[in-house]
């Protein structure tokens, strides 16, 4: 069994929190793990938001039991969460699973350049709060016969598909970052606040706690190179 030695208890706790939030939206969620050296990236796709979420995890040392330089596996998020030992700052990599379609296509590794126009963190929080309030208000005003999942989804798509100013970033990406615990004040030594980056057709909202990536035209087509 491959054992990951995380940098400290805080890294273990943050990984567990990220996995728990993914499982809140999908109890059968899978995550793709990619690691080299002492850096681990955990990719997930919460279905409610139609984005890719990425949590970077620092490792104290690469691996045990003969794994050489890299790790690339799609595993059950629930099984990985069960294996996290916060006190010991370790996690055991579960057996691989047949990954969902999104796991075969990931954002580019490099070529990211800064994009202007991202509002300040407090404005992003207000944007999400306004969207949630609008969704609640509009759904509560619906006549009983119109309170259907299809109508709720239509209203949600209308609200969360709006863009953040002139950035092209859909509001659902900010909502996802907020819901996954990425959009919070940076602690000491954790770098700057949120930033927006682009690479090809992808936009990436990056924070000290994780990133949310989305294609400018949406993820539905998954028209990307497989790696």
Q: Residue 134 is part of which domain span?
A: 113-215
Lowest mean pLDDT among 115-129, 136-150, 177-191: 177-191
Q: How are the residues of the chain apportioned to helix, strand and coil, as percentages rounded to the nearest 5?
A: 30, 25, 40
- Per residue in 101-141, pLDDT (tens digit) is 999 889 998 899 999 999 999 999 999 999 999 999 999 99
Is 221 within the bounds of a domain?
Answer: no
Is 227 within the bounds of a domain?
Answer: no
Q: What is the pTM assigned to this prediction?
A: 0.86
C-alpha atoms less than 13 angstroms from C-alpha of 138 in its C-beta half-sphere: 16
Is 226 within the bounds of a domain?
Answer: no
Is 198 within the bounds of a domain?
Answer: yes
For residues 99 and 43, membership in a common domain is answered with: yes
For residues 121 and 83, membership in a common domain is answered with: no
Cβ atoms of residues 205 and 115 within 8 Å: no
Q: Residue 66 pLDDT more than 70? A: no
Q: Residue 148 pLDDT more than 90? A: yes
- Per residue in 36-64, pLDDT (tens digit) is 888 899 999 998 888 999 999 999 987 65
For residues 66 and 140, membership in a common domain is answered with: no
For residues 8 and 97, membership in a common domain is answered with: yes
């Amino acid at each position: 069994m491959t054992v990951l030695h995380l940098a400290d208890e805080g890294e273990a706790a943050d990984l567990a929190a990220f996995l728990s939030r993914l499982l809140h939206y999908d109890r059968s969620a899978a995550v793709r793990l990619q690691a080299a050296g002492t850096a681990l990236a955990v990719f997930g796709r919460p279905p409610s938001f139609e984005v890719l979420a990425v949590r970077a995890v620092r490792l104290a040392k690469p691996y045990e039991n003969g794994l050489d330089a890299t790790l690339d596996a799609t595993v059950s998020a629930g099984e990985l969460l069960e294996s996290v030992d916060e006190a010991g700052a370790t996690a055991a990599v579960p057996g691989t699973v047949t990954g969902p379609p999104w796991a075969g296509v990931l954002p580019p590794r490099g070529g990211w350049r800064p994009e202007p126009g991202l509002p300040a963190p407090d404005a992003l929080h207000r944007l999400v709060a306004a969207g949630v309030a609008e969704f609640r208000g509009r759904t509560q005003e619906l006549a009983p016969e119109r309170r259907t999942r299809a109508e709720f989804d239509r209203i949600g798509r209308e609200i969360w598909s709006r863009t953040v100013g002139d950035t092209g970033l859909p509001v659902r990406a900010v909502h996802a970052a907020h819901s996954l615990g990425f959009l919070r004040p940076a602690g000491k030594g954790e770098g700057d606040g949120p930033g927006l980056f682009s690479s090809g057709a992808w936009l990436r909202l990056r924070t000290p706690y994780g990133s949310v990536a989305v294609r400018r035209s949406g993820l539905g087509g998954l028209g990307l190179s497989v790696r």
